[in-house]
């Protein structure tokens, strides 16, 4: 599935965490491809949306999965009214339009699919379309961006070295506490004290390292908890539903998380209804 977003009217809200903006813009200007590495819910997608806005490029997003074929990316002949007609795939559209093409979770795609990216990702900036017998030169402004989460992918699914070395890497982690607090307060429309409390809880969960969790609490789940609080749920109920629930199915681990929530989140100053 792919999503085409024209340049959005308002800048997507993104607070920089390190020098990611400078690296991304420099890479795009130089026609270099970019790989964004980082855990789920740390802001990779939001970052690309903000960069597309800043660089005034349309954004084409493709969610990769293991059934994704080269034809899904590049295009195929379809039967329309008795005639066969070539229909561009999202990658081809992005190459023609000079868009930013964002392949989310690229390691999920089969390796024979990612090979089509090689001539695009290096200095050639070309997309060979075998079925049409043509090779397209990427329009100015085209930028290939891929993301993956090195944490939960198996070693087998790691990106090929030949793919990796064609890309500039930007590492994403969770924002510093003061930045994350600002993000939460803005995105969930809650006050800064509440946001700070959720950030402290998030940090405590992140310090658990493994502790039976596949992934730690992301900025995304903290925002979801904040949104439930904004709707009038008590902070503890909100944190249980939006943080503990999504992180684990294991009852012992859940009990541990609920204890942490009760220790870090105060219900006193919450709304009554």
Ligand X SMILES: Nc1ncnc2c1ncn2[C@@H]1O[C@H](COP(=O)(O)OP(=O)(O)OP(=O)(O)O)[C@@H](O)[C@H]1O
Contacts to ligand X by CB under 6 A? 13-15, 17, 38, 40-46, 149, 175, 183, 187, 219-220, 223
Report in angstroms how near the CB of residue 104 gets to Mg ion at its nearest.
5
Give Cα separations from 173 to 72, 81, 131, 206, 251 (angstroms).
31, 50, 41, 11, 28
Smaller CB separation from ligand X, 60 or 183: 183
Report in angstroms how near the CB of residue 152 gets to ligand X at its nearest.
10
Smaller CB separation from ligand X, 129 or 183: 183
Report in angstroms how near the CB of residue 61 gets to Mg ion at its nearest.
9
Report in angstroms how near the CB of residue 78 gets to ligand X at its nearest.
30
Smaller CB separation from ligand X, 73 or 183: 183
Report the partner that residue 96 touches, choosing among Mg ion, ligand X, none (CB closer than 5 to 8 A by kind): none
Both tokens assigned to 174: 């969770």
Smaller CB separation from ligand X, 176 or 271: 176
- Closest residue to Mg ion, judged by C-beta, is 45
Residues 6+ apart with CB under 8 A from 74: 88, 89, 91, 92, 116, 127, 129, 131
Report in angstroms how near the CB of residue 36 gets to ligand X at its nearest.
8
Query: Which helix (H) or strand (E) element contains residue 104?
Result: strand 100-104
Q: E strands, 109-193, where?
A: 126-129, 134-137, 143-148, 167-171
Cα angle for residues 118, 52, 215 (degrees, 5° grid): 75
Residues 6+ apart with CB under 8 A from 60: 2, 3, 4, 5, 90, 91, 93, 94, 97, 99, 100, 101, 102
Smaller CB separation from Mg ion, 45 or 270: 45
- Closest residue to ligand X, judged by C-beta, is 43
- Considering the rule CB under 5 A, would residue 254 count as an interface residue with Mg ion? no
Site for Mg ion in 41-70 (CB under 5 A): 45
Q: Give the binding site for Mg ion (CB under 5 A).
A: 45
């Amino acid at each position: 599935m792919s999503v085409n977003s024209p340049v959005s009217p308002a800048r997507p809200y993104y607070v920089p965490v390190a020098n990611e903006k400078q690296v991304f813009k420099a890479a795009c200007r130089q026609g270099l491809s970019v790989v964004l590495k980082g855990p789920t819910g740390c802001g990779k997608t939001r970052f690309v949306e903000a960069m597309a806005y800043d660089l005034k490029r349309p954004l084409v997003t493709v969610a990769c999965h293991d059934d994704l074929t080269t034809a899904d990316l590049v295009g195929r002949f379809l039967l329309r009214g008795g005639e066969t007609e070539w229909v561009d795939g999202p990658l081809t559209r992005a190459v023609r339009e000079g868009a930013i093409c964002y392949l989310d979770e690229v390691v999920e795609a089969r390796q024979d699919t990612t090979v089509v990216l090689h001539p695009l990702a290096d200095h050639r900036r070309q997309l060979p379309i075998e079925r049409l017998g043509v090779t397209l030169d990427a329009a100015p402004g085209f930028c290939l961006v891929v993301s993956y989460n090195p944490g939960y992918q198996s070693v087998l699914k790691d990106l090929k070295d030949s793919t990796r070395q064609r890309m500039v890497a930007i590492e994403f982690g969770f924002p510093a506490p003061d930045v994350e607090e600002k993000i939460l307060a803005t995105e969930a429309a809650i006050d800064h004290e509440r946001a700070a409390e959720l950030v402290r809880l998030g940090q405590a969960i992140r310090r658990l390292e493994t502790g039976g969790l596949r992934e730690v609490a992301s900025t995304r789940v903290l925002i979801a908890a904040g949104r439930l609080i904004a709707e009038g749920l008590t902070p503890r109920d909100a944190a249980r539903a939006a943080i503990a629930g999504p992180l684990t199915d294991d009852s012992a681990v859940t009990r541990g998380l609920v204890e942490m929530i009760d220790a870090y989140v105060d219900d006193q100053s919450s709304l009554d209804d």
